[in-house]
Amino acid sequence: MNTTTSTTTINGTVTNVTVLPVAKPTLSPQQQFAIQQNIFLYEQYQILQIVYSLTYAFMFFLTMALIIYLRRSRTSAFKGDVIAANKVILPSFEPLFWVIACSTGIYTTYFFVATILGYTKPITNRWFGELLVQGRQFILYLIVAFLLQRSVSRPALVRSVLIALVMAVVPVIVVHLLDVTSQDQLLQFVVVATYRTILMGGFAYLFFRPMPRASVRTQQELCLFSLIYYVIVYVYTFCFYEKDYQNGMMLVFCAVVWATFGPFFVWRLLKADTQHWRGLSDRACDFQQLFRENQGMQEIVSAQGLHVMLEMHRKDVVDFSHLDIQRQMASGASANVYRGVLHSTKQVAVKVYSPSEISESTILEFSQEAALCTALKHPNIVLFHGMCICPPSICLIYELCRGSLEDALRKSRADHMEPLWPKLCYMLDAARA
């Protein structure tokens, strides 16, 4: 060991002092490699935060652009634009896009703030890494859960959001518990991989056995998009388990960019589902034949029932994009009556039914009323404009009458005697009706 000699002065006396150097601690190659890998991950995570900020911002603005596009198309369709009417999706689907916008907006805000402040502390937590993955998968869970509902009502959307949240939160909690209890890395990898394999199996099943909604092609597109995303996530998780951080981070970037296009596939699927509810899908005639062959069945699913009713009254169907439902005028035991505007010019009365499900008896009831209203065309009978299917509601559109019997009865009596001839006209009109 080398020594050094220094000269110091103590109480005016010059003294030579031999100083032994302090030995620097030596690191093993494994420790040096681990430090280098940690530095690499830290630098890559800083870049990843920027990528997350940009991609989530892209998803957020893409979702908002779709909402704006939906509303503008709805306005144009309401004024009579046929091309815009074909582009409009069901109004009940708009809250779904707002949920996606809120989800992506929260992630966008966090990553922008974390990037600006240089906040990277959560990178040391395994549950945070899983949370990043589940943030993208939440959208996939949400759309599949929503399509599996029997209706497209607001309660169905709430149930879908809760199901998607549970599916996204469960793996985060499991990873955190495994980390807190200091479980082996192999066990953590197996548990997470098993969960994702089950989900991949579900999407693979939907790819080969699509739901009786939307179109087969759009469902398969979403399933293929999801399967590719899961494969990338599975591979980079395996790379991290094998300490191959460079390839793992490269695949993380690929997964982030790929998942950015999720709202586009959601839009295509919901647009196809809108055509399905309109009764324009290729399966409409098949459903009608099935209904005719199974007159004794107790219940059929909502989509099939609507298709049958649409086929039976095709000429009387009014597209939902041409009807604007406004304030409520009256309420009853089974339906409410609203004031509305048809084709942006005609004031109408809209009788709105919102059944929990469409059963055979419901279809028969609506079919009979629609057929009766169509047959009764007379100057002294309120005019029937048609039937509108706007899930989760079914609407019957009538002429808007000026006043009502109640208004006439409550009207103050005139001081003068009303002539007999108007009364006679009233009686003749009633007799003709």
The CATH code of the domain that includes 55 is 1.20.1070
Instruction: Please count the residues of the chain.
Output: 433
Task: Judge if 351 and 256 occupy the same domain.
Answer: no
State the pLDDT at residue 45: 75
State the pLDDT at residue 296: 38
Is cis: bond before 419, omega within 30 of 0? no
List the strands of the sheet with 323-331, edge to edge: 323-331, 336-342, 346-353, 393-399, 384-390
Task: Judge if 135 and 236 occupy the same domain.
Answer: yes
State the pLDDT at residue 359: 53
Task: Judge if 362 and 399 occupy the same domain.
Answer: yes
Task: Judge if 210 and 264 occupy the same domain.
Answer: yes
**Can you tell me the distance from the alpha carbon of 128 to that of 148, in angstroms, rounded to the nearest whole number?**
30
State the pLDDT at residue 38: 67
**Can you tell me the distance from the alpha carbon of 168 to that of 36, in angstroms, rounded to the nearest whole number?**
33
The CATH code of the domain that includes 399 is 3.30.200.20
Task: Judge if 267 and 314 occupy the same domain.
Answer: no
Task: Judge if 59 and 157 occupy the same domain.
Answer: yes
State the pLDDT at residue 242: 83
Tell me the β-bridge partners of 17: 6
100 membership: H or E segment, kind and range: helix 94-117
**Can you tell me the distance from the alpha carbon of 256 to that of 207, in angstroms, rounded to the nearest whole number?**
23
Task: Judge if 228 and 291 occupy the same domain.
Answer: no
Tell me the β-bridge partners of 328: 338
371 part of a folded domain: yes
Token pair 């808007």 in the structure block, residue:
400
253 part of a folded domain: yes
What residues contact residue 274 under an 8 Å CB cut-off, 6+ apart? Answer: 88, 89, 90, 93
Nearest Cα to Cα of residue 227 among 140, 123, 158: 140
Task: Judge if 260 and 145 occupy the same domain.
Answer: yes
User: Which residue range forms the structural domain that includes residue 358?
Assistant: 284-407
251 part of a folded domain: yes
State the pLDDT at residue 223: 92
Low-confidence ranges of the chain (pLDDT < 50): 1, 6-17, 19-20, 280-292, 294-303
176-185 long-range contacts (CB < 8 A, ≥24 apart) are 176/125, 176/126, 176/127, 178/126, 179/125, 179/126, 179/127, 185/241
Task: Judge if 299 and 242 occupy the same domain.
Answer: no
**Can you tell me the distance from the alpha carbon of 273 to that of 350, in angstroms, rounded to the nearest whole number?**
24
Domain-ending residue, one of 248, 278, 308: 278
Domain-ending residue, one of 222, 253, 278: 278
397 part of a folded domain: yes
433 part of a folded domain: no
Domain-ending residue, one of 249, 278, 307: 278
Task: Judge if 307 and 202 occupy the same domain.
Answer: no
Task: Judge if 255 and 361 occupy the same domain.
Answer: no
State the pLDDT at residue 356: 65
Tokens linked to 343? 């084709």
428 part of a folded domain: no
**Can you tell me the distance from the alpha carbon of 272 to that of 287, in angstroms, rounded to the nearest whole number?**
17
- Is 362 in contact with 305 (CB distance < 8 Å)? yes
State the pLDDT at residue 364: 61
Structural domain count, the chain: 2
State the pLDDT at residue 115: 86
Could you tell me what percentage of the chain is helix, strand and coil, using 3-state DSSP and rounding each to the nearest 5? 65, 10, 25
**Strand 336-342 with 323-331, pairing:** antiparallel
Please return the burial class of 181, using the count of CB atoms within 10 Å of its CB with bins 0-12, 13-18 and 19+: exposed
Task: Judge if 253 and 138 occupy the same domain.
Answer: yes
Residue 345 in 3-state DSSP? Answer: coil
